Structure 1
């Protein structure tokens, strides 16, 4: 079981446009591959920006829309799997969504944020109705949540019980909630015995200041890579052998007594 090197892109600063952000995706993919990564994870609402107000409706695209087609070209050109956030249109509804692409550009799965945070999310997005989205990438079972979703322990436990080995969480976390990447994310990884990749935005957008602090945390609760507060790409390994040994030593999942809960 060969380790899977993944890269997390913390950026961009500001909203930009889908065209500009797809250009940044191309650059990040090239950088990630140069570091040996086979999976690149980008933040929540990466393609359009997050705090874009009424532009959300105009910029929303189907899951297989023009931005997906360009992202698929980038994945295939660089030979790297991609995870990125975007506003997804489905009929009259718009979702805070994520696409997961294989290294050949094919779409493996998608996910819609299920737990909407605050007035902004609830005004501009419909909540997703499917809790579990997973895909196999280079032999690793990858699951997806978005930002606020990871702060609900039930969400992460559902992934752990359904075989997720690497949980990727595109995020747009703002100050003053640094407790999430510093404390909650490592705790979720440890109590559920999985790797957790938390890819946040950075800088300021609208009246929000993002925390940055993107990270990859192992099943031992120890960070394998940690970003600062600015635009940055970090990379580290997900090691299936280490995960197997960690699960054997830390038997939270086997020791559960669900009949009591």
Structure 2
């Protein structure tokens, strides 16, 4: 399977503009032979959490989803896109949706680890559900941005059966080191592909760090973007590489969860 990862600068509050940018990237991804496009966190609204409730007054979550469905179906490519998602009691989540090339929504993941007071003031953390969906011979799982900084999260998606972890991201400066080090490390630790799609440029008062990346199960970097500027990354995912990596590095097979449970208990002092 060939995947594409979009790095771009969204315009906060301009849903039409942002969805049009996703559509343009989707068309370029199809031209490049990609089966799946992964886009950044909250790209449809722009990454300014405080603005999201006001944006949703004019463009509710279901309308944003409808527009993303149209992108996937009109361009003929599977799409991972992040947008606000509303729960049954009105609570808001940061979500990542997977649509197939016909526009059917196959999965929705809600961000487990909210980052900082700005996100916590607007959104509710997800409850840790980890959907995994088969597509083009690969099993796809999801995390969002800060989730990837917790090794337990990537390991959890791998144990749920994923071969590829798609991670829409809004990583700010000065934390670009996270993008360069953690996706390859997490890929190696759990023998999964990691597609990490970040914003770039300034959105509101936040400067996003770019450096989107696609990492392989052996820890190698298949494609990486610069800090600034829009880029569309491509990579071919090879199931044989993944099988070889899991044979060489038996982290999943040789886990000892019975021991790990004792490590989480408070240490006894002398």
TM-score, normalisation: structure 2: 0.91
Instruction: Tell me which residue corresponds to 2:253.
Output: 254
**Which fold has the larger relative contact order, with Cα–Cα distance below 8 Å and residues 6 or more apart in sequence?**
1
Name the CA distance, whole Å, in 2 between partners of 1:16 and 1:231: 19
Contact 1:13–1:231 (CA under 8 A) maintained in structure 2: no
Instruction: Select the residue among 169, 177, 180 that pairs with 2:178.
Output: 180
Name the CA distance, whole Å, in 2 between partners of 1:168 and 1:135: 11
Is 1:39–2:63 an aligned residue pair?
A: no
Choose 1 or 2 for highest CA Rg.
2
Instruction: Please tell me the root mean square deviation across aligned C-alpha atoms, in Å.
Output: 1.4
Is 1:56–2:55 an aligned residue pair?
A: no
Name the CA distance, whole Å, in 1 between partners of 2:110 and 2:231: 25
Compute the displacement of 1:70 (Å). 2.0
Compute the displacement of 1:67 (Å). 2.0
Name the CA distance, whole Å, in 1 between partners of 2:92 and 2:123: 5
Deviations along 1:213-246, one digit per CA (max 9) or x if unpaired, are 0010001111100011211111111111211111
Instruction: Tell me which residue corresponds to 1:161.
Output: 159
Compute the displacement of 1:131 (Å). 3.1
Is 1:30–2:35 an aligned residue pair?
A: no
Q: 1:258 to 1:52 in 2, by over 3 A?
A: closer
Instruction: Tell me which residue corresponds to 1:11.
Output: 8
User: Unaligned regions of 5+ residues in structure 1, if any?
Assistant: none
Compute the displacement of 1:252 (Å). 0.8
Deviations along 1:39-95, one digit per CA (max 9) or x if unpaired, are 000000010011152x311334666x1222222122112210001111112232111
Name the CA distance, whole Å, in 2 between partners of 1:206 and 1:24: 18
Name the CA distance, whole Å, in 2 between partners of 1:85 and 1:251: 33
- The ranges of structure 1 where at least 4 consecutive aligned residues each deviate by more than 2 angstroms after the TM superposition are 12-16, 58-63
Name the CA distance, whole Å, in 2 between partners of 1:205 and 1:75: 25
Deviations along 1:179-233, one digit per CA (max 9) or x if unpaired, are 2111111110001111000000100112211110001000111110001121111
Name the CA distance, whole Å, in 2 between partners of 1:66 and 1:201: 22
Instruction: Tell me which residue corresponds to 1:192.
Output: 190
Compute the displacement of 1:162 (Å). 1.6
Compute the displacement of 1:260 (Å). 1.1
Contact 2:9–2:202 (CA under 8 A) maintained in structure 1: no
Instruction: Select the residue among 108, 115, 118 that pairs with 1:117.
Output: 115
Name the CA distance, whole Å, in 1 between partners of 2:69 and 2:226: 29
Name the CA distance, whole Å, in 2 between partners of 1:254 and 1:173: 32
Structure-to-structure mapping, 1:79-94, within 5 angstroms: 79-90=76-87, 91-94=89-92
Deviations along 1:87-116, one digit per CA (max 9) or x if unpaired, are 112232111111110111000000111101
